Structure 1
Amino acid sequence: MVTLKDLKPGQEGTVISIGDKGPMRRRIMDMGVTPGTVIKVIKVAPLGDPIEVNIRGYELSLRKDEAENIEIKM
C-alpha cells in the first residue's frame, strides 16, 4: 500500500481511500481529498511535516499523520 506520505515532490497519484475513521477522515474529505481525485506532491518540509500538495487546482498543506491515512494509486 502506497500512502501520500510515501510520495516525493513531483510525483502524483489518484486517491484510492482514506483509512482513518471519524473526525480526521471528515476533515480530510472536507478539504477536497476524496477517492478518485488526482493529487500531486509539490514539496515536503525538511522534517517531513507538513506536505504541500496540489489537488483540484489549489495548494493544500497536510500534516504527516493525515498523509499516512491517504492511500494512493500511482
Structure 2
Amino acid sequence: MSALSSRLAERRVAMPDPGVGHVLAELAPGSTARVEGFSDHLPASTCRRLFDLGFTPGAGVEVVRKAPAQDPVIYRVAGCEIAIRRSLARGVRVSLG
C-alpha cells in the first residue's frame, strides 16, 4: 500500500476543521474553488477514485453546469470536465476563490 493510500484510508488528507469551509456541492455554476480534502463519510476507495480523477488537495475546480434535474453536476478539474453526483460532491471540501 502506498503512503497516499494509507493517508486516504485514514482520512488525513488536508481536512479543515468540521464546520469550516465549503463543500463542492454548494457551489453554483460558474464558481471556482480549490480542493482542501475529503469528508470522513466517504469510503477510502471513493476518496482514491476522486483523487485519481484530479480532485487533489490544492487543485482548482470550476462548476461548469448542472443537469436539468440538478444531478449530476459537471466540474472542470485538471483541464477535464467530469460529471459527479451531488452526493459525492458533498464529500469534497473546498475553499472559495
Q: TM-score, normalised by structure 2?
A: 0.71
Structure 1 unmatched runs, 5+: none
In 2, Cα distance between equivalents of 1:3 and 1:47: 20
Greater strand proportion: 1
Counterpart of 1:68 in structure 2 is 90
Q: Distance in 1 between matches of 2:67 and 2:75?
A: 12
Separation in 1, partners of 2:25, 2:67: 12
Q: Name the structure 2 match of 1:10.
A: 30
The list of structure 1 runs, each at least 4 consecutive aligned residues, that deviate by more than 6 angstroms after superposition, is none
- Helix, strand or coil for the counterpart of 1:35? coil
Structure with bigger helix share is: 2
| Aligned-residue identity in percent | 28
Number of the residue aligned with 1:48: 70
Rg larger in structure: 2
- What are the equivalent positions in structure 2 for 1:18-29 lying under 5 Å apart? 18-19=38-39, 20-29=42-51
SS in 2 for 1:30: helix
Higher relative contact order (CA 8 A, sep 6+): 1
Q: How many positions carry a matched residue from both structures?
A: 74
